[in-house]
Structure 1
Amino acid sequence: MFDIIEDDLKNPQSRALIALHLAGMSENVPDDATFLGLSDLERPEVTVWSAWENSRIASIGALKMLPDGTGEIKSMRTHPNFAGRGAGAAILKTIIAAGKARGLRRLSLETGSGSAFAAAVALYQKYGFEKGEAYSTHTQTEFNHFLHLDLPQS
């Protein structure tokens, strides 16, 4: 079982996992791809959560509020020592619950293609995300694709 916290990114373990995420993105995406850096994750419209087990970070992910009443999932990364143990799912479930609680009508994300992204795509699809069109300021390329989850309105 993981302890999920809202993360202010001050903990060195959180910063190290973001650095690992950024390094992985740099290795696995085209040169013209963009992704959020640490300072972007500290903006007021972004909330970051992390999953912990025995004082060790297991996973991290963020929800960026978009002006159109939707949310964007950003910077999902599980530490390699916790791969396949449900840490990423715990963060994703937290983000989905936060989106519902905030009254968002949809969660969206951009991800890459290829083996480096296969586990992430499978996780999103397991929780109901479906492939769809580009959104917000994103543009469709041969490399990326977009996943969306419509949230029930109460």
Structure 2
Amino acid sequence: MQIRTDDPHTPDVQGLILEHLQEMHATSPQESVHALGLDQLRADGVTLWTVRQDDGELLGCGALKRLDSRHGEIKAMRTAVVARGRGVAGVLLEHLIGHARDHGLRRLSLETGTQEHFAPARRLYARHGFAECPPFEDYTEDPHSVFMTLPL
């Protein structure tokens, strides 16, 4: 597997992000969907990485949004359907954590859903040391959201 920074408008990446957005809107109420769109993933302070097979096949993506000089947020974590169960999300999450540490961040946080659909994501984050926390940044209490953080 190869991890590299990528452009959300690259055709296969765009397809994976749009699939992610569709799924978020299908599983959560509109006001509880906090996923970034394609243009938001190109904003200053946001870096998107993709995981690819050696032959270039897209396996997954994830982004890091810098909230301030010491705090970052995990965004756009998505594994392609064909790659699920192969450890792609764990490899990518470890990369994001390492990048955050290497660039001086002291805390990583994220928001994910409370529904059963998001249980695998919550387990993944917990396995990597994330613990539930109160809402951060501009988030507010929401029965459809779980907030998690990892001190670095």
TM-score, normalised to structure 1, is: 0.94
**Cα distance in 1, alignment partners of residues 143 and 69 from structure 2:** 26
**Cα distance in 1, alignment partners of residues 117 and 57 from structure 2:** 24
- Give deviations 1:55-102, integer Å, cap 9, x for gaps: 110010000001252000001000011111011111101100110011
**Cα distance in 2, alignment partners of residues 37 and 71 from structure 1:** 18
User: What is the CA distance between 1:141 and its match in structure 2?
Assistant: 1.0
What residue in structure 2 maps to residue 26 of structure 1?
25
Letter in 2 for 1:20: E
Structure 1, unaligned stretches of length 5 or more? none
Structure 1 runs (4+) greater than 6 angstroms displaced: none
**Cα distance in 2, alignment partners of residues 31 and 43 from structure 1:** 22
**Cα distance in 2, alignment partners of residues 136 and 10 from structure 1:** 27
Letter in 1 for 2:114: S
**Cα distance in 2, alignment partners of residues 116 and 95 from structure 1:** 23
Aligned counterparts, 1:131-142, within 5 A: 131-142=132-143
Gap change, CA 1:139 and 1:68, over 3 Å in 2: farther
Equivalent residues of 2:17, 2:38 under 8 A apart: yes
Structure 2, unaligned stretches of length 5 or more? none
Letter in 2 for 1:43: A
What residue in structure 2 maps to residue 5 of structure 1?
4
TM-score, normalised to structure 2, is: 0.95
Percent identical residues: 37
Aligned counterparts, 1:8-87, within 5 A: 8-33=7-32, 34-53=34-53, 54-67=55-68, 69-87=70-88
**Cα distance in 1, alignment partners of residues 140 and 76 from structure 2:** 18
Q: Please state whether the residue corresponding to 2:30 is helix, strand or coil.
A: coil
CA RMSD, 1 decimal? 1.0
User: What is the CA distance between 1:36 and its match in structure 2?
Assistant: 1.0
**Cα distance in 2, alignment partners of residues 130 and 92 from structure 1:** 15
Number of aligned residue pairs: give it.
150
